Amino acid sequence: MLTEDGKHLYVSYDEYHNLVEKLAIKVHQSSWQFDTILCLARGGMRPGDILSRIFNVPLAIMSTSSYRAEAGTVQGHLDIAHYITTPKGQIAGKVLLVDDLADSGVTLQRVVDRLRTNYEPITELRTAVIWTKGTSSFKADYSVEDLPTNPWIHQPFEAYDSLTPEKLLAKWKV
């Protein structure tokens, strides 16, 4: 649900999963066949996992981080992992790179540049995101929702950003 002022988008678990399924349909309708899904951790892990199951292809993971402060709401320095975790030894062939959103576009552009420069076994690379904000300098090959007002997206699992083991103990009275 987008707030009246367009500054916040609240997404339920059902809405989130529906959007990932719509992303799968867009990829499928393109008729592009790929060998591996590479998700960007953390935001791309959930959609990457679901797409990996739907398309029955291996899931590889590359860790990136730029949102750390204030329970993940403040963007900082971008860190990109030097290694990709994959069940097939080395990532190769046609790869679908998945993240949750193209916010500024910086993360996706830098990852794409790194993959094209440092991973010669990748023969073709396409990108998929759930959301693309109006401020994004990066245009993914597949995207479900364009958000021209650049709202802050409240994903259904963001409550875990501020949850601690102590709070869980208190909640469950353990």
Residue 111 belongs to domain spanning: 10-172
Span 140-166, average pLDDT: 95
Residue 25 sits in a domain whose CATH number is: 3.40.50.2020
* Element holding 64 (H helix, E strand): strand 59-68
For 49-103, write each residue's pLDDT tens digit: 999 999 999 999 999 887 544 544 455 578 888 789 998 788 999 999 999 999 9
For 32-62, write each residue's pLDDT tens digit: 999 999 999 999 999 999 999 999 999 999 9
Look at the chain and report how many structural domains it folds into. 1
Span 138-148, average pLDDT: 97
Residues of the chain with pLDDT > 90, as a percent, come to 80
In a domain, 5, yes or no: no
DSSP H helices, the chain, are 13-29, 45-55, 69-72, 106-118, 165-172
Q: What is the mean pLDDT of the chain?
A: 92
How many other CB atoms are there within 10 angstroms of residue 100's CB atom?
22
Encoded tokens for 109: 């552009």
